[in-house]
Structure 1
Amino acid sequence: MASTASSGPPPPPPPQWVVALNNPAPARPPKTSNIPDPPGFSSKAAGKQRAQQQPSTTTPTPSRPVETDTLKLKKAWEIALAPTKQLPMNAIMMYMSGNSLQIFSIMMVFMLFKGPIQGLMATNTTFSKFETDATRGKLVGVKAVYVLMQLLLLALGVWKVNAMGLLPTTRSDWLAWESEREPLERAFFAFG
């Protein structure tokens, strides 16, 4: 008995990407266009390693001390004015947190006081990296502006504490030290 085995249709050919992946890439055709190489690129050195290329002859010029001091002062002014950028955001957050005594508003006020107090205590260390002989006199004004900005943030915190009713600013807050008023006359009910 003769049997004809039919295994079905032949499998489809593999996709083009599989064929391209399995076969090595063909060699590039030689450069035939008139487009020049970009600056710093040489087609002769493209196949070689970078270590074999000549080091570039341009060296960075060292900056002068005057330029460095100017840049340090500019950066110091940016740091000194940074609390000014926090002022509107903190004011809106304090307004939105409300005046009632809740954990959220108390934590907001605590954070509002904590930041400026830490900033005031670290004023000299904040600006010590910018201090040189040439900038020492100019940094006094920068430090003064920085301290003023921190005090503005503290004033915002004091305003918020007052709005919450935690500052003793009214007469009723000091009733323990008030003396009882002595009456000038006394009136009694008479049966008659």
Structure 2
Amino acid sequence: MSSKPSTPEWVARLQSTPKRSKNNSNIVDPPGYTPNTTKKGPKDKQPARKLPTTEETDTLKIKKAWEVAIAPAKQLPMSAIGMYMTGNTLQIFSIMMVFMLFKTPITSVIAIQNTFSRFETEGTRDKILLAKIAFILCNMLSLALGIWKVNAMGLLPTTTSDWLMWEPMRTSLEKAVPLLS
């Protein structure tokens, strides 16, 4: 006769709920713990939160739009420190930092409608226009930092020696000719 294999004792203990032993009953609950002994019925439910009005929602959207608009200006000090730390020599790190200083503001200004679309409603359209202008100005400050860095690296043609190729040849008024004697 074959009998069913019995399950091991540890499997049976794992599948059953643990019994509370008498020696665990003297352990106090941690501070802040409140046991949930009462079950909440339909009467005990908390009242639903009231929905915000459209004016409150528009005010919140305008505040968030201004946070997004000023975010590029908040990055300027860190970018300036990075530019200072890279030095004025032509290295791959400084070139990549300058490249990012130019790329990020340009792509941000191009995608301005997509950036502010989540904040636009009929009531906020006029007020968000000022935030968009501030966003563009903050990105222009970042571009100005990039131009300053390119100038500090000596890559901007600002001296007359940088434009010698386009200077006309000077014609001499006098020529020194050696005397043949």
- TM-score class, shorter-chain normalisation, is 0.7 to 0.9
Q: Does 2:150 align with 1:161?
A: yes
Q: Does 2:98 align with 1:109?
A: yes
Counterpart in the other structure of 1:90: 79
Distance 1:105 1:28, change over 3 A: closer
Q: How does 1:25-40 map to 2 (within 5 A)?
A: 25-26=21-22
Distance of 2:20 and 2:116 partners within structure 1: 61
Q: Does 2:62 align with 1:73?
A: yes
Counterpart in the other structure of 1:7: none
Distance of 2:86 and 2:64 partners within structure 1: 34
Counterpart in the other structure of 1:175: 164
CA deviation string 1:85-140 (max 9, x = no partner): 11111111111111111111101111111111111111111110000000000011
Distance of 2:128 and 2:38 partners within structure 1: 55
Which protein shows a greater Rg? 1
Give the deviation of 1:185 after TM superposition: 0.7
Q: Does 2:37 align with 1:46?
A: yes
Give the deviation of 1:57 after TM superposition: 4.6
Distance of 2:94 and 2:46 partners within structure 1: 62
> Alpha carbon RMSD of aligned pairs, Å?
2.5
Distance of 1:143 and 1:105 partners within structure 2: 30
The one-letter code matched in structure 2 to 1:46 is T
Distance 1:28 1:141, change over 3 A: same
Identity percentage of aligned residues: 52
Counterpart in the other structure of 1:121: 110
Give the total of aligned pairs.
157
Distance of 1:102 and 1:129 partners within structure 2: 40
Q: Does 2:20 align with 1:24?
A: yes
Q: Which has the higher helix share?
A: 2
Counterpart in the other structure of 1:144: 133
My pick for the range that moved more, 147-156 or 91-100, is: 91-100
Distance of 1:171 and 1:159 partners within structure 2: 19
Distance of 2:65 and 2:173 partners within structure 1: 67
Distance of 1:141 and 1:188 partners within structure 2: 72
CA deviation string 1:49-107 (max 9, x = no partner): x5x56451511111000000000000100110111111111111111111111111101
My pick for the range that moved more, 141-150 or 177-186, is: 177-186
**Greater RCO, CA 8 A, separation 6+:** 2
Gaps of 5+ in 2: 1-17, 27-31
